[in-house]
Amino acid sequence: MKTWVLYHSKGGNTKKIADVIANELEDVLKSEQIPPAYPPENVALLFLGTGEYAGKPDSKLLEFVRTLNKDRVKNVAVFGTNGKGVAGSAIATVKSLLNEKGINVVDESFCCKGKFFIFANRKSPDSNDINAAKEYAKRVYNSIKA
């Protein structure tokens, strides 16, 4: 099953989770920062990651989402990081845009705390977050593969 992991990460938190997801799955083609070197095509499952900045996803990620269409990407699972560790409006915004494009969006999303500036959440994402991201990746992958 053709699977990609794409993300946008300013501080490295979302990249860390993207790499965990990509390493957990057997046949992932890419794990790279948006925009990718070439656009995804014939992708069965796209894991799409964003940080949350003042309640919003990064504008580069939104621009990328606008380029996607259901003929190139069949299913998208959205994940991210933020200061609270719960899925916020950034993930909801990305899911909404994908739904508007007619792309199947996996109901379950993943979010964990990310390190913020120097002191806030400075050990995040931590080992519990890493393990949760691995389990999320396997669950989503297996649900699409079935």
Domain extent for 72: 3-145
Looking at the 3D structure of the chain, how many domains does it have? 1
Q: What's the token pair of residue 42?
A: 């014939």
Q: What's 115's DSSP letter?
A: -
Q: Quick check: 45 and 37 in contact, CB under 8 A?
A: no
Half-sphere exposure of 108 (CA within 13 A, CB side): 13
Other C-beta atoms closer than 10 Å to the C-beta of 50 total 30
Taking the C-alpha atoms of residue 85 and residue 95, their distance in angstroms, rounded to an integer, is 18
Domain CATH code at residue 48: 3.40.50.360
Per residue of the chain (146 residues), give pLDDT as tens.
889 999 988 777 888 899 999 999 877 766 677 777 667 788 999 999 998 877 888 888 899 999 898 999 999 999 998 766 556 688 999 999 999 999 999 999 998 877 665 555 556 578 888 899 999 999 999 999 86
Regarding pTM above 0.85, the answer is: yes
